[in-house]
Structure 1
C-alpha cells in the first residue's frame, strides 16, 4: 500500500487519504497517527470502497502517515459494526469509532506505575482512622487516592501510614496479565429445568454460529447461573465473552457471583475505571488475553480479538439506550455485533421487551424459558392498595396496610424494600406565601430538593444551589414547603415511625460506584439494614434471601407523560422490584400503592398474567403502527437562541418529504423546552416498518443548511420523548 484511506477521530471530517512512507507496514484496521495541519490525529485505515471520500486528491498532494500504534489492528467484524451503527443511527463514523479507541494511552508501549499495599506491620501510633484504613484496605493494592476512597479516610492518613512503614510502595506493570477464569472451579447444582436451558445455550456456543437467544426466566429462576454455563463453554473453547449490564452499580454484585463460580473476577469496563485500569483492560481485550469482560454499553465497541459469546443481562432495560452522542441501543447493537462476529447472543430478562418478544414470534430469535424460581422458592404474592379507599395519613405516604406489613417484618427481623422511582426529598419546592416555584435556570424543569446534601438540584443538567432561607420572590422566611415525595422523604417517614429501624437510601446519589454497591450488599447480607428505600437502582440484580416485603409507594408514577412504552416500563419495573421479595426460603409479599387498581397494567401485576398484558400491549402497538410494527425517529433542534431554534425547526418541518407510509409531526417545543441552556424543538417521524427511514432523513436533512449555533440531532428508535 502506498496510498491509504484513514478515518480520523474528528466527526466533522470525512475520511482522508494519506501516503504510506517506505518501511511502514499498514493494513485495513491499522491504528495510525496522521497529520492534519499542525495537529496530529489518531485514525484507522479503512477500505476505500467501503468509505468513499468526497475530496479525492492527487498522489503528489498526499501527506505521510506519521506512525502506526503499538496495538493490534481493528478487526473486520468491528469495522463492519462501526459502519452499520453509523448508518442506522445516522451518526458520523468517527463518533462511533471513538468508542473503540476509548483509551488513547493503550496505544502506547509498556508502562510502569507506583501503587501501594499494606505490609502487615502495625504503626507506632495507631489512631482510629489509621486502624480503620488498615482494616478496610486489607490485601488491596492501588494508588493513594484509591486506598483513601476504599478506607473512607483522607489521603493524608494513607501517606502517614506510608511514612510509618505500615503501607509500602511497589512498582507494577500497568499491563500485568489478568487471571484466566476456571470453568471447572465451582460448577453449580442446577435443577433439571436449568440444566436443559444451560445445555441449549452451551450447544449454541459450541456451534460458534450467530444465533440470538432470549433467556426468559422469572426473577429468582437462576438465569445468571444458567448463562454462566455458556460462558464456561466459551472459556473452554479459548473464546472471549462479553457480558453487558445496564447499570454500573450492578457490576460489583456480578463480580462477586462470577468470582464464586470461576475463581477470579472478569475484566470490568465502565466509566468508573481510572485511566491506567482502562488502558490495561483495553490492551488485554485487544490481545485476546481478557477472556471474560463485563461492562456497560460502551464495552460493545471494544476491539475483541476472539469474541465467542455476547450476553445482555436485563436486556429489557431502557438504560441500554444511549441518550447523547451516538443514540444507539446496546441490545440491538449487541445482536448486530454477534452477527458480524458469527457468535451467539443471549438476551436474559425476566420481563422481555415487546420488540424482543416479537423477534421470537417471527422466528428470528430462539427462546429458552425458566418459568419457576430455583430451589422451590415461590414468587411473591402481589396485592394492590387502592389509595382512594385506603389513603395514608395526612402528610404521609404509606397506606395503613403497608405500615402494618412493615411492622410485622421488623418484629420478625426480616428485611423490607420501599420502592419509589424519584430521587431526593421532594420533586417541587414552593413558597406558601407567594406561590413561587423553584425552577432550574438552564432547563424547563423544577429543582428537586435533596435534604441529605441541603441542595436544590436539577436532574437534567446537574445545576445545584443551596436551599435559601427566604423566598427569593417575596423575601418571606420559613415559607418554603416541599410538594410530593422522593425517597428521602419516605425514609424520613419511616425513621419517624420506627426510630429503631436501620434504614438505607439507595439511589444513584448514594450508590455512585461499584465499591459503594459492594458496601450496600455487604450490609444487607450482614443484616445491618432493616428497610431499604430506593429507586430503580434496586429493582434488578440483587439477591437478598431475608428480604420478604416490597412496597411500591407510587405505582402510577411511571404512567405519567406521553411515552408509548409507559405501561410496559411500569409493568417491567414493578415486576422486577417485586422479584426482590421472597428469593430464599421465606415467602415474599408485595404491596402496590395505586390510584388506578383497575388499570390493565395493575391487574396484570396482581394476577400475574404477564401473557395477557403483553398480548394487549402488542396488539395496541400493532394498531398504532408503533414499534416493533412501525418506526419512529426524532429530530431535535436546539440553540441558545430561541428564535434560531424555532426558525430551523420550521425550515425542517416545511421541507419534509412526502413519502408514502411516512408522517412527520411537528415541529413543536419539546416537553423539556430548555435543556442545559439550549431551547429545544422536536419533530417526530412515524413510518411503516418496510421504509428505509434513515435514507429518507439523510437526504432530507442533507439538502438543508443551518448556522453553527443551531444543533440538529436525529434519534432513531427513540426511548425518550422529552
Structure 2
C-alpha cells in the first residue's frame, strides 16, 4: 500500500479531551502470517469497534488492519503498547466475514492474517476521483446556437452530466462540448458517480421451463424465501438445464432484496454463462476473477460492499467479497477440483461456500451432473437436500457411448486415432455436423526421449518430465514453469537428431487431425490457447456460428459448454486419469469423461461418444457404457467406507519441504516419530512425495487418517508443536487433500 495515500484516506485523531476516560487496547488483525491479532492502544478521542479498518504501526511502517473480535491479548505491557494511528474511512468488515476468516484459519491451520489477506483489498479502500462532467453556465452568454448545441443544452436542463453520457444522449462529439466550453456555455462540475452495475430484472422474460425444471426451481425458490441456512444438491444429466433452474433461485433472491453469489470453477466458463444470465435478466452481473484490471476490481469490490452489485459470478476468491446481505450461494460444477486452492491458504471453496452461507443465514446450492462422493454422502446422511433433473431439456436424448478397444482396433503406427474413431469423425463431417476430440494433456508430447541412449529430458527443478510444446519450439515443466528450447542434440550423449516425442498431447492430435481431415476448420481449446475469458468467449462464438468443424481440447472443454451442432465426441485416451495412487482416480475419471461426453447431442441431432481404451472391462468404462453412475458411486463408497477413507473418514497431509534432501528427511523422520496414536488414528509415511522435488525443494509427505468422528485439527496442532522446524525446512498442512502430488 502507498503509505502516504493511506494517511490521506484516514480520519484524523482528535486531541485527548480533559477528563477523558482511560485509554483502552484492542486486538488488530494484520494481513500477514502472524499467529493472531496484535494489541494496540486506542488513543483518547478515537472510537473503534470490531470490523473497523485502522492504520497501525508495524515495525517502521504503517499497515492497514482490522479491529478483531474478542478481548485483547494483554501480554504486552502498557508501556510497550503502540497506538492506533488512524481510523480508515471505508466500509467496516462485517461480522459474518470475520467469522468466516476465523473459521477457515482454524480449520486449515493457516495463519489468520493470511486468510484476512484474501478478504482485505487495501487498494479498494482508496477513494476514486470525483467524476467531473459538464453543467450549464449561469447566466448563459448570448451566442448563436446550432442544432447540436441546442441538444446539449436540452440534455443538461436536468443537471450536470458526464461527458461520455452527454455525448451519447445529445448525439454529439466531444469536440462540440469543448467548443461550447470555450464559448462560455458549459462549465466543468462534479457529477454523480454512475452506478457501476445495472440491477438485473428478476421478472425479465426467461426461457420456458419444463415441468421437471419448474418443480426443481420451486424447491430452490422456497429455500431462498425461507431466509435461512440450507444446502441443496441440484443434480441431473448433462443438458438438463440446471443453470436455468438455479437462475430462478437467483431471481427470487433479487425479489427479496438480497445479494447472490455464483462460483464457477474456471472463469473461462463465464462466456456462455454470462450469455445465459443476460438472456434471463436483461443485464450482465458483476464479475470477479484475477484477470480484472485493478480499477475494475476496486470498482467491483466497492459496489459489492455498498450493495450495488446484486449478483456476482466469480472464481473461488469471490467467496471473500464484502457482501452486506448475501442471500444465496451457488457452487456450479461442485465436483471440480479447481475449487481447491493448493497454494498459500489451502482450502476448498465448495466447502467454505457452505460455511459462508451458514454464517449469512442463506441457502447454498451445489450443482453438478456428476456430484462428488463427499456431497452424495452428505445427502445420504440427511445433511443436504437433493433436487434431481432426470432428463435433458427440450426432448434431446443422451448420447450413445461406444468403447473402442485399442487392443483390437489399434491406430496406425505412429498415430493415435483408431480407425473406428477416424471413420466416425468423417461421417460426422459428411452430415455437416461438428465433432470434438478430447485429450486431457496439453502440449505436443508429455515426454522427450533420446533414441540413442534412452535419456529422458527432465525438469532441473522438479521430478517431472519436460513437455514438448512444438508450436512454441520449447520444452516446459507444467509444475514450476521452467522452459527451454528444444535441443538439437541429446544433452546426455550428444547424439544429433536422436530426440523423439513420446505420447500425444493436444498439439500432436491436432497435427494428426490436419493430416487426416485437411479441409476442416479446427480449433484447439486448452489453457495455452484460451488464456482468458475473452479468448473463451470468442471460441464459443466461433463454434456456435459454425465457423469451426473440429474442436480439439483438454479438460477445459468438459465444463458447462453448450454447442448445439456438436454431435460426436472422441476421447483419445480414456485410461489417462486411472494411473497413479490417487484414491479418487476412478471417481474423477468417471466425472471428467461423463462431462465431456455430455457435450454431444445437446439439441435435435442425436449424439455419439467413442472412448478409446486399453481396458474396456474397467469399472469406470463399464459405468460410462451403462450410464449407471449411481451404481458406480455406490461401489466406490463401499470400497472406501471400511478403511475410513474420505468421505467416511478424515485425511490431512503434512508436506515437508527443504533445500536439501537431508534436511527434509530429518524433519520428516522427527514428525514420523512424534506422530499421534490412538484408536481410529493411522499415520502413513514419511515417504517421498510423488513429486519428490518441486521448484527445487525436496519434498516428503505424511498422511494422517482418522475416523470421521475424530477432529484432525487438535491432533495436527499438538503434532506440529512437538517437532521444531529449522533452517530452510517448511511444513505445509493440507486438510482434506484432493491432490497427492
Cα deviations across residues 75-117 of structure 1 (Å, max 9, x unaligned)?
A: 111111111111111111111111101x321112223699xxx
- Counterpart of 1:40 in structure 2 is 62
- Counterpart of 2:12 in structure 1 is none
Measure how far apart 1:39 and its partner are.
1.3
Cα deviations across residues 307-365 of structure 1 (Å, max 9, x unaligned)?
A: 00000000010111111111111111111111111000000100000110111111110
Residue of 238, 245, 255 corresponding to 1:236 = 255
Measure how far apart 1:177 and its partner are.
2.3
Measure the CA separation in 1 of the matches of 2:481 and 2:126.
Answer: 35
Measure the CA separation in 2 of the matches of 1:685 and 1:663.
Answer: 6
Contact 1:111 1:173 in 2 (8 A): no
Measure how far apart 1:635 and its partner are.
0.3
Residue of 632, 635, 647 corresponding to 2:666 = 647
Measure how far apart 1:176 and its partner are.
4.9
Measure how far apart 1:187 and its partner are.
2.0
How does 1:572-587 map onto structure 2 within 5 Å? 572-587=591-606
Measure the CA separation in 2 of the matches of 1:424 and 1:592.
Answer: 21
- Counterpart of 2:285 in structure 1 is 266
Q: Is residue 2:84 matched to residue 1:62?
A: no
- Counterpart of 1:30 in structure 2 is 52
How does 1:123-522 map onto structure 2 within 5 Å? 176-522=195-541
1:624 match: secondary structure:
coil
Farther off after superposition, 548-557 or 56-65: 56-65
1:541 match: secondary structure:
coil
Measure how far apart 1:705 and its partner are.
1.3
1:300 match: secondary structure:
helix
Measure the CA separation in 2 of the matches of 1:275 and 1:622.
Answer: 47
1:682 match: secondary structure:
strand
1:279 match: secondary structure:
helix
- Counterpart of 1:134 in structure 2 is none
C-alpha change, 1:175 and 1:56, in structure 2 (3 Å) is farther
- Counterpart of 1:104 in structure 2 is 122
Contact 1:110 1:173 in 2 (8 A): no
Cα deviations across residues 666-695 of structure 1 (Å, max 9, x unaligned)?
A: 111111000011000000111111111110
- Counterpart of 1:597 in structure 2 is 616
2:347 match: secondary structure:
coil
Q: Is residue 2:684 matched to residue 1:675?
A: no
Farther off after superposition, 398-407 or 25-34: 25-34
Measure the CA separation in 1 of the matches of 2:105 and 2:364.
Answer: 21
Measure how far apart 1:659 and its partner are.
2.4
Farther off after superposition, 473-482 or 486-495: 473-482
Measure the CA separation in 1 of the matches of 2:719 and 2:324.
Answer: 39
- Counterpart of 1:10 in structure 2 is 32
Measure the CA separation in 2 of the matches of 1:216 and 1:626.
Answer: 24
Contact 2:267 2:315 in 1 (8 A): yes
Measure the CA separation in 1 of the matches of 2:99 and 2:638.
Answer: 35
Contact 1:636 1:713 in 2 (8 A): yes
Cα deviations across residues 151-207 of structure 1 (Å, max 9, x unaligned)?
A: xxxxxxxxxxxxxxxxxxxx9999852111111222220000000000110111011
- Counterpart of 2:156 in structure 1 is none
The two structures have a TM-score, normalised by structure 1, of: 0.90
Which 5+ residue runs of structure 1 have no aligned equivalent?
115-140, 142-170
Measure how far apart 1:8 and its partner are.
0.9
Measure how far apart 1:29 and its partner are.
0.8
Contact 1:70 1:108 in 2 (8 A): no
Cα deviations across residues 368-427 of structure 1 (Å, max 9, x unaligned)?
A: 000000000000001111111111111111111111110011111211111110000000
- Counterpart of 1:569 in structure 2 is 588
- Counterpart of 2:654 in structure 1 is 635
1:4 match: secondary structure:
strand
RMSD: 1.7
Measure how far apart 1:264 and its partner are.
1.2
Measure the CA separation in 2 of the matches of 1:243 and 1:699.
Answer: 37
Measure the CA separation in 2 of the matches of 1:3 and 1:92.
Answer: 22
Farther off after superposition, 348-357 or 12-21: 12-21
Measure how far apart 1:13 and its partner are.
4.9
Contact 1:431 1:479 in 2 (8 A): yes
Measure how far apart 1:433 and its partner are.
1.2
C-alpha change, 1:97 and 1:554, in structure 2 (3 Å) is same
2:394 match: secondary structure:
helix
Measure the CA separation in 2 of the matches of 1:478 and 1:507.
Answer: 29
Contact 1:212 1:366 in 2 (8 A): yes
Contact 2:108 2:345 in 1 (8 A): yes
- Counterpart of 2:631 in structure 1 is 612
Measure how far apart 1:553 and its partner are.
0.7
Residue of 726, 729, 734 corresponding to 1:710 = 729
- Counterpart of 2:179 in structure 1 is none
Greater Rg by CA:
2
Cα deviations across residues 274-318 of structure 1 (Å, max 9, x unaligned)?
A: 111111111111111111000111111111111000000000101
Contact 1:633 1:718 in 2 (8 A): yes
Measure the CA separation in 1 of the matches of 2:621 and 2:192.
Answer: 56
Contact 2:674 2:722 in 1 (8 A): no
Contact 2:341 2:347 in 1 (8 A): yes
Measure the CA separation in 1 of the matches of 2:246 and 2:130.
Answer: 37
Measure the CA separation in 1 of the matches of 2:55 and 2:199.
Answer: 33
Cα deviations across residues 37-65 of structure 1 (Å, max 9, x unaligned)?
A: 2111221111224xx74x62233432221
Residue of 530, 540, 543 corresponding to 2:559 = 540
Q: Is residue 2:679 matched to residue 1:660?
A: yes
Contact 1:444 1:672 in 2 (8 A): yes
Cα deviations across residues 512-551 of structure 1 (Å, max 9, x unaligned)?
A: 1000000100110111111111111000111000000001
- Counterpart of 1:164 in structure 2 is none
Cα deviations across residues 447-485 of structure 1 (Å, max 9, x unaligned)?
A: 000011111000000111111122222222211100000
Runs of at least 4 residues off by over 6 Å: 171-175
Measure how far apart 1:252 and its partner are.
2.1
- Counterpart of 2:42 in structure 1 is 20
Contact 2:434 2:567 in 1 (8 A): yes
Measure the CA separation in 2 of the matches of 1:111 and 1:276.
Answer: 12
Measure the CA separation in 1 of the matches of 2:630 and 2:219.
Answer: 24
Contact 1:71 1:283 in 2 (8 A): no
1:288 match: secondary structure:
coil
